[in-house]
Each structure stands twice: as structure tokens, then as C-alpha cells.
Amino acid sequence: MNDGFTAMATTADFRNGMTLELDGELWTIVYFQHVKPGKGGAFVRTKLKNVLTGAVLDRTFRAGERVTEVRLERRPVTYSYTDGHLYYFLDQNTFDIIPLPEEVIGEDQLLYLKENMECEGLVHDGKVLSVELPFFVELKVVDTDPGIRGDTAQGGTKPAKLETGAVIQVPLFIEIGDVVRVDRREDKYLTRVSS
């Protein structure tokens, strides 16, 4: 059973998050830029991430070059635990335990991963290859300087350490124990959820 399907695409179809098959491996576009130099043909500069290994590759494509796009199925998974080397997720459809190495999950996502967090598994050929955390996560502040009476949301910011180890800038009124909503893609504080 093939959960993902392939289609031909060109560089004009590129978008962040698109998965390509190159030399028998799956790569996700992290960044791309169309370049039209004064002389010579136009091209597209990309940064690609290997879906299985997490390796990052810079690659340039000629404008209009044909590529094989792979559409991955998304399936709900829940983070369970880590043994220090692998991170274990529970597939909500099959109830299988899926071990994934930290390179595949990515350091940027691991900063926000906590037990029982619902994520999306990226599936190809019936196998969960990688996971994506929600863009917005709610985490408890475990360390920050004390707030000063009278601080408002309009004031400055200070660093705060979250329960997962991530450090973000928060408004001065945020205190230890507060739960904050964060856009993990930008390491950005959005709002206080509860105190």
C-alpha cells in the first residue's frame, strides 16, 4: 500500500514544505529563492532537508527543471518518551510505537517537544518517516527573572526558559509557572494562556 503518491512538478511549483524525490531519497524544501541573473539562465536556489536522516543540502535547479514531487500522508502520532537516543511516538491509527532518531525530528522541533504532545507523522509507503510538531505550542515557564510591579504588555522583554529547555523572549509581566503560547517556528511568544 502506497500512502504517498508522486507527481511531476517544475521549479515554478516549489513551496516550503514540499517533498521531492531526488536520487532515490526524499527531501523536503526548507527554503527556496528564484534568481534571475543579468546574464545566463534563471535558476532556483534551495535548502533541502533529508526526510530520513535530517541532513541539510544546498542545491540549485535550473528554472523550469522537472522534479518528482512526493505527497506524504499525514497521520496523528503522540510523543511518549525518549531513551536518550531515540524518541518514541504512538501512532494513533495503528497503536504502533515508532522510534525516531533526533536527527530526523530536528533540533529546532526537539526544543518544544514534551510528553503526550500530539504531532503529525509524515507517512510514505505505510511507514512513518518523520514528525511535525504543531506550529503553536503551550508550555510552562520554569525560569525567568521576577516581574516588576506595574510592568505592562507594552514594556520590554526578558528571557524565559520553558519546560522543554527552549529559551524565548517574553514580556516583563510573565512569571515562573505561567503557561505561554509560542510559535515554535519563530521562537516567538504569542500570549499567556494561564498563570
- Mind listing the pLDDT tens digit of every residue in the chain (195 residues)? 344 567 889 999 999 888 999 998 999 898 999 999 888 889 999 999 888 877 889 999 999 999 999 988 889 999 999 998 899 999 998 899 999 988 888 888 899 999 999 999 988 888 888 898 999 999 999 999 886 655 454 568 899 999 999 999 999 999 999 999 999 988 999 999 987
The C-alpha atoms of residue 96 and residue 92 are separated, in whole angstroms, by: 8
Q: What total of structural domains would you count in the chain?
A: 3
In terms of domains, do 118 and 145 share one?
Answer: no
Report the alpha-carbon distance of residue 117 to residue 156 in Å, rounded. 31
Global pTM value: 0.74
Same domain, 81 and 47: no
* Residue 172: all three cell numbers together: 516583563
Burial of 173 (0-12, 13-18, 19+ CB in 10 A): middle
* Boundary (domain end) residue, out of 42, 71, 100: 71
Domain span holding position 24 = 5-71
